[in-house]
Amino acid sequence: MNIEKQIQNLFTQDQNHLDADNFLDKLHSARENKLRKQQRFAYGISAMAVILIVGIFAFTQLRNNASDIQYNQYYADAELSEDMIDEYYDDLMIYLAYQSEDIWSTMEFYYEVNSENISTEN
């Protein structure tokens, strides 16, 4: 775009003859571009709002510890005593010992579970 050539073309053109179709095409394209920019801005704002809402919702939901929520949902009303839990672990280990092919890995797992329970209680 050479500005000097455009200025010279303006002075050399016949001012009495204006191209109405060219003028209308430029006017409509300018109007469509302005409308397109406004729509893009509105879409951008609405997308940012959706992302912000989803982000806030996810942050508030993930702020709570998932294991606490799960524990509260499943064991709050169960009123399980320690004897019942120990009996459950014993039955589970007997079942695993019968079902596994390697009893020593099952016993190692049993001792790991018991040692983790003791360390988490302290």
How confident is the prediction along the chain (122 residues), in pLDDT tens digits per residue?
Answer: 587 887 777 777 666 666 778 888 888 999 999 999 999 999 999 999 999 999 998 888 776 655 555 555 555 556 667 778 778 878 888 888 788 878 788 788 778 877 765 555 54
DSSP state letter for 14: -
pLDDT of residue 122: 46
The alpha-helical segments, DSSP class H, found in the chain are 3-12, 20-63, 66-75, 82-99, 103-121
Q: Which two tokens stand for residue 116?
A: 């983790």
pLDDT of residue 15: 60
pLDDT of residue 91: 86
Question: Distance between CA atoms of 85 and 18, rounded to whole angstroms?
Answer: 93
> Look-up: residue for tokens 């406004």?
38
Asked if 96 and 109 touch (Cβ cutoff 8 Å), the reply is yes
Q: Which two tokens stand for residue 83?
A: 């004897």
